[in-house]
Amino acid sequence: MYYEDKGAFTGEIAPGMVKELCSTVILGHSERRTYFCESDELVNKKTLAALAYGLRPIVCLGENSEQYELGETQSVIKAQIQQSLAGLNEQQAQQIVIAYEPIWAIGTGKAATAAGAGHVIHFIRHTYAEIYGESAAQAIRILYGGSVTSANIGEFMAHPDIDGGLIGGASVKNDFVEIVRISAEAIQS
C-alpha cells in the first residue's frame, strides 16, 4: 500500500482502494524493505495513511543476521519502533499490530526459538510502553513471523508474550491447515 490517496504510482495501491476490500495491511515487511528500499520513514507514512483510512496496520520489525550476531537486536528494534511508528496519537497507538520477523529467519528454515522470540517481543512491548504508555502496550498484539511451521507453531503460541503468528511461505502450503488448527487449539486452551 502506498501512502498517497491518489495519483499515478504504478505498482502501488492507494489506502482508499485497499479499504474497499481489506481491513488490515502488512507494512514494513522485510521483502519490501530489501527489494524496494523501504525505509522506516516510508513505513511511518504508510502506517499513518492506513490509520487515517481505518485500516489496521501490521507493522513488521526485525534485524538481519549480521545485526543479530553482533547483539544489536534491541537497538535495531527500538530504532524501528521510534521511526516507523512516530507521530501516533494515543488512539492510533492502540490500533497497531506489530510483527517481529527476524530477517535471518525468513524463508531460511532457521526459526528463532519461542523463548528467544518471546524475549524480543517482551522488549518490543516494554519499548512501546515507554513511548505510548502502558495501556497502548497492553492493547496491541505482537506476532512472531519467521519460518513458522506446524512443527513449531505450538511453542510460539504457548509463549505468554507472543500473541500469534505472521505466517509467510507456509501459508501457501498444505501445512497451513495444520498451523491454523494448532493455533486455534492454543487460543482455546
101 among known catalytic residues:
yes
3 state SS of 46: helix
Q: Answer yes or no: are the C-beta atoms of 53 and 14 closer than 8 Å.
A: no
69 among known catalytic residues:
no
Write down the catalytic residue from 38, 63, 101, 159.
101
The angle, 0 to 180 degrees and rounded to 10, between the axes of the packed helices 40-52 and 73-84 is 40
- 3 state SS for 79-142: HHHHHHCCCCCHHHHCCCEEEECCHHHCCCCCCCCHHHHHHHHHHHHHHHHHHHCHHHHHHCEE
Q: Which three cell numbers stand for residue 182?
A: 494448532
Write down the catalytic residue from 20, 29, 119, 134.
29
Q: Answer yes or no: are the C-beta atoms of 167 and 123 closer than 8 Å.
A: no
Q: Which three cell numbers stand for residue 152?
A: 513449531
| CA 49, chain centre distance (Å) | 17
Which residues are marked as active site?
A: 29, 101
